[in-house]
């Protein structure tokens, strides 16, 4: 592990599990992946969930209380400008995307998505990553997850991140998992 360097693996459920298993404090732009993450973190650890939708975070907080997950904190903010001073062992980005990797389960996306959606969503993904990448603690991990296979939203965004930030890749940046 290089000092002062975040690691950017291609995300799978196993990657996320490994990232969280080692984390004492995590940050999630979900917010809905937050609850399973909080359960994996266990007591004494903390996860901060961020979303622009207050109602969504209120539902999340209610569910966390119901499940007895006391380490969940929520913040209403734009992930591109999170206005946090803290850093985290793990930062998980479940980025908004075209969803084109889920066509088998969601064939209607063929008709709902337009060609101009891809570059627009890639811009949103870069915005989110530019806001949250500085929140990764030295030696921490940044997990970037999308459910698409377009180059512009996957390796294109990661290549942009690596070119514009002081981040090193811990392994090859290819797609993993079933979509």
- Residue among 146, 157, 81, 145 at smallest CA distance from 119: 157
Element (H, E) at 146: none
DSSP state of 102: G
Distance CA 43, CA 111 (A): 45
Structure tokens at 71: 């380490």
Give the SS3 label for residue 16.
Answer: helix
Structure tokens at 105: 């389960």
Catalytic residue set:
147
**Terminus-to-terminus CA distance in the chain, angstroms?**
30
Angle, CA 23 vertex, CA 20 and CA 29 arms, to 5°? 60
């Amino acid at each position: 592990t290089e000092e002062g360097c975040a690691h950017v693996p291609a995300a799978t459920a196993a990657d996320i599990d490994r990232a969280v298993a080692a984390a004492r404090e995590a940050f999630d732009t979900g917010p809905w992946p937050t609850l399973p993450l909080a359960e994996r973190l266990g007591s004494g650890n903390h996860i901060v969930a961020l979303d622009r939708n207050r109602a969504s975070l209120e539902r999340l907080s209610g569910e966390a209380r119901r499940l007895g997950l006391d380490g969940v904190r929520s913040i209403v903010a734009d992930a591109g400008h999170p206005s946090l001073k803290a850093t985290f062992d793990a930062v998980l980005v479940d980025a908004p995307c075209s969803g084109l990797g889920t066509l088998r389960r969601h064939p209607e996306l063929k008709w709902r998505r337009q060609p101009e959606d891809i570059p627009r969503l890639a811009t949103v993904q870069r915005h989110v990553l530019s806001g949250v990448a500085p929140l990764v603690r030295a030696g921490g991990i940044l997990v970037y997850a999308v459910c698409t296979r377009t180059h512009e939203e996957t390796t294109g965004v990661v290549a942009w991140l690596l070119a514009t930030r002081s981040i090193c890749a811990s392994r090859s940046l290819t797609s993993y998992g079933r979509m």
